[in-house]
Amino acid sequence: MNILAVGDVVNESGLRFLRNKLRSLRRMTEADFTVVNGENACGTGILPRQADEILDAGADVITLGNHAFRRGEIKPYLEDCPRILRPLNYAPQVPGRGWAEFDTPFGTVLVVNLIGRCDMDFGPDNPFLAVDRLLKERKAAFTLVDFHAEATSEKLAMGYHLDGRVSALWGTHTHVQTSDGAVFPRGTGYITDLGMTGPAVSVLGVRPEQSVSMFLGNPHVPFTGAPGPAKLECAVFTLDETTGKCTGVRALRIEE
């Protein structure tokens, strides 16, 4: 069974490229199940219309992250639609859900969205303990985790924490694809960051000159999506259908 995991979709540029490419990418990678991180569909946040577009483009599940609630319009959608997840380790009163199970011809797929605590916007629950609690309760043939986190150490530590207990774990949020895709010793597929889907000439999706201006120390720099051709970054995890463990990880990038 092949799992396709697509990095954070940024702005209309990323959405347009995803709409154009996802179905052919699914065919090319022989993907049986696709998870797309959508937390930046409108820069910071996602609108219901954009979530519909990502699902219509061929995603089975949308995961989110620290920008999940920047656009309040998504709150009822998160309650109503089982195919979009916000981080599990947010406070219990936060709308939506942090995990969901899906029936596939290969068996049940459990998808979990977690958020890290190093250099993040506010203090969610401990993601290591939150996922332990969930995995005690839920047993699925395949378990997939999107760990939305800043620190490479926190993501790697989570990889080893869950090694052998989940089929695949990938990082999102930093928008730069890492080259460390590997199968961990006990059979979990891992990559520190998938990368992003959006403008190729940009700083994480933002116009470079705006990011430079901010780092030069200028106050109140507006951030807008960069123009130009897009890229799509993702990883494919091949899972053994009898054990649920990973046998191969391949990171990919498609450019316009």
Question: Which amino acid is it at 108?
Answer: T
Q: Please report whether residue 202 would count as binding Fe ion according to CB under 5 A.
A: no
**Euclidean distance between CA atoms 196 and 10, whole angstroms:** 7
- Within residues 55-84, the interface with Fe ion by CB under 5 A covers 65-66
Contact between residue 195 and residue 233 where contact means Cβ atoms under 8 Å apart:
yes
Among 21, 26, 86, 173, binds Fe ion (CB under 5 A): 173
**Would you give the DSSP letter of residue 247?**
E
Stretch that binds Fe ion, among 32-40, 72-80, 129-137, 240-248 (CB under 5 A): 32-40
The token duo for 205 is: 């999706």
Q: Three-state SS across 70-89?
A: CCHHHHHHHHHCCCEECCCC
Check: CB of residue 137 under 8 Å from CB of residue 165. Answer: no
Q: How far is the CB of 88 from Fe ion (least distance, A)?
A: 15
Q: How far is CA 107 from CA 50, 86, 135, 144, 165, in A?
A: 29, 23, 17, 13, 16
Strand partners, 145: 112, 169
Which of residues 63 and 66 has its CB atom nearest to Fe ion in the complex? 66
**67 noted as active-site residue:** yes
Task: Name which of 53 and 233 has its Cβ closer to Fe ion.
Answer: 233
Residue from 11, 13, 40, 238 in contact with Fe ion (CB under 5 A) = 40
- Residue whose Cβ sits closest to Fe ion: 8
Closer residue to Fe ion, CB minimum distance, 41 or 141: 41
Q: Which residue number, 44 or 108, has a Cβ lying nearer to Fe ion?
A: 44
**What are φ and ψ of residue 221, in 5° steps?**
-85, 120
Residue range at the interface with Fe ion (CB under 5 A); choices 53-61, 81-89, 90-98, 173-181: 173-181
- Residues paired with residue 206 on neighbouring β-strands, in sequence order: 203, 225
Position 86 contacts Fe ion (CB under 5 A):
no
**What residues are labeled active site?**
67
Residues that bind Fe ion (CB under 5 A): 8, 40, 65-66, 173
